Copies of this chain bind each other. A is one copy, B any other.
Amino acid sequence: MNKHTPASNVQPVSRFPVPKLKDMPPDVRARIEAVQERSGFIPNVFLVLAHRPDEFRAFMAYHDTLMDKADGLSKAEREMIVVATSAANQCQYCVVAHGAILRIRAKNPLVADQIAINYRKADITPRQRTMLDFAMKVALEAETVGDEDFKVLKKQGFSEEEIWDIGAIAAFFALSNRMANLTAMRPNDEFYKLGR
């Protein structure tokens, strides 16, 4: 809870009911407790989506396969895609939470805000700029993706598998951003300061 604002103005965690840990299915609860132990707090996305355990499981499985992959794009680059496209979708939870992760992964306290506000002016490489141009295209007008885009990406050294990753991360957060805006998912206060 935000201590800096009159309680009446503080937005709740979700528009929908938020289950208690003790009422969750054991696997969902176990997953959440593991995160809590690692991070010191429970990111609200886990609580909000636990309202629907089956969706929770599919969401987390999808997220992990795209974001925890060892080869190809770096973990910081994956988070750059999340931050850029989530900002375009005005998703408060994803920009704040993944902005924090990006700061940590990139060991750079500035780049998350730079990308969120205008990725074209961030302290990134030309290759990363090309990556984000494509991610934004998938996020905002995927219907126009064509062979030309693939040529531009390959000229920057991206493999076919990396291109799939860029597009798939943008596509997954198209879902994620909409769920966060549907549920009015509140970013935890803890995220704002992490990695600064």
Interface, chain A (partner B; CB < 8 A): 2, 4-5, 9-11, 15-17, 51-52, 54-55, 57-59, 61-62, 65-66, 87, 89-92, 95-96, 106-111, 113-114, 116-118, 120-125, 138-139, 142-146, 150, 160, 164, 167-168, 170-172, 174-179, 181-184, 186, 189, 192-193, 196
**Complex: how many Å from CA A29 to CA B109?**
31
Contact in complex: A182, B142 (CB < 8 Å):
yes
Contact A2 B110 (CB under 8 A): yes
Given contacts A62-B59, A164-B16, A2 and B179 within 8 Å (CB-CB): no
- On whether the beta carbons of A192 and B196 are closer than 8 Å, the reply is yes
A9/B62 in contact, CB under 8 A: no
Taking a contact as CB atoms closer than 8 A, the residue among B117, B179, B183 that contacts A116 in the complex is B117
Question: A145 to nearest B CB, angstroms?
Answer: 5
CB contacts (< 8 Å) of A59 on chain B: these are 58, 62
- Give Cα A184 to B122, complex, Å: 10
Most chain-B Cβ atoms within 10 A of its Cβ — which of A92, A138, A178, A189?
A178
Number of copies: 6
Q: Which residues of B contact A150 (CB under 8 A)?
A: 15
Nearest neighbor of A179 in chain B, beta-carbon distance: B171
Q: Which residues of B contact A107 (CB under 8 A)?
A: 4
- With most chain B CB atoms within 10 A of its CB, the pick from A2, A122, A171 is A171
Residues of B within 8 A of A54 (CB): 61, 65
Among the interface residues A116, A175, A184, A189, which one has the most CB atoms of the partner chain B within 10 A?
A175
